[in-house]
Amino acid sequence: MKRILLKLSGEALAGDKGFGFDEDTCIGVANQVAKLVSDGIQIGIVIGGGNFWRGRTSDVMDRVRADQIGMLATVMNCVYVSDVFRRAGMETIIYTPFSCGDVTRLFAEDDVISSLEGGKVVFFAGGTGHPFFSTDTATVLRASEIKAEAIFLAKAVDGIYDSDPKLNPEAKKYDKISISDVIDQRLGVMDLSASIMCMEQKIPLYVFALEEENSIISAASGSFNGTVVVV
């Protein structure tokens, strides 16, 4: 693979803490990405905001405001993880769909492609910039715009199951499944709009647990303990 979009779960980055960042986890991610970059792979990254904010805190809170807070949570995540990557020897740049002063750069497709081709790890923060769209949708959108060959979903669970493995000990794990089956069975890999966009853009998914040793490198090599979603 030449170019991938890596989606990191905010909860996975928090590790056992459940909130904020687990530094060892973030350093481990940085070391894996550094290896892929040294091998010539171009990498864009989207990070969820669930380690700081997950939707409305009450039914009376305005959805638009809640989603705006979530967008800012993803900016905080990208600023932190980007710094960890820099300390690991990589060049990074953060793009947002809205202005954040001098903290990030405003998204422009040509600028992003130039950064990727120049060997920088590109972070996409702030989601789509609009409420009612998740970071899942932002992931597929950015993957489509940069013409990524695949989306890597690094989550807190080690693949896709036919039911929630936390609730059903007999849940069956898929090694491979089609995106149409994911949509038809409402398996919840990504939200529905993101899954449909992924199917339309014909971008395969690699779903795996971030906590597994060298999980990102293994996914890039095609030999990993996760689920491939084919299109």
**148: region left, alpha or beta (phi > 0 left; psi from -120 to 50 alpha):** beta
| Tens of pLDDT, residues 188-209 | 889 899 999 999 999 999 999 9
pLDDT score of 58 more than 80: no
Structure confidence at residue 36 as a pLDDT band (50, 70, 90): very high
CA distances (Å), origin 82, targets 123, 153, 154, 156, 161: 7, 18, 17, 20, 31
Task: Compute the distance between CA of residue 45 and CA of residue 77 in angstroms, rounded to an integer.
Answer: 11
Phi, psi torsion values for 21, nearest 5 degrees:
-125, 145
- In this predicted structure, what is the pLDDT of residue 50? 87
- In this predicted structure, what is the pLDDT of residue 16? 79
Structure confidence at residue 218 as a pLDDT band (50, 70, 90): very high
Using alpha carbons, select from 51, 6, 34 the residue that is nearest to residue 210.
6
Rounded percentage of the chain residues whose pLDDT exceeds 70? 99
Q: C-alpha angle 163/165/171, rounded to 5°?
A: 55
Question: Which two structure tokens, joined as six digits, stand for 93?
Answer: 């740049």
Rounded percentage of the chain residues whose pLDDT exceeds 90? 75
pLDDT score of 55 more than 80: no
Q: pTM of the full predicted structure?
A: 0.92
Task: Compute the distance between CA of residue 144 and CA of residue 140 in angstroms, rounded to an integer.
Answer: 6
Is the CB of residue 173 less than 8 Å from the CB of residue 226? no
Phi, psi torsion values for 226, nearest 5 degrees:
-150, -155
Range name among 3-17, 68-82, 97-111 with the lowest pLDDT average? 3-17
Alpha helices in 39-134 (DSSP H): 63-87, 109-117
Range name among 3-17, 23-37, 87-101, 127-141 with the lowest pLDDT average? 3-17
SS3 content of the chain, % helix, strand, coil (to 5): 40, 20, 40
Is the CB of residue 44 less than 8 Å from the CB of residue 148? yes
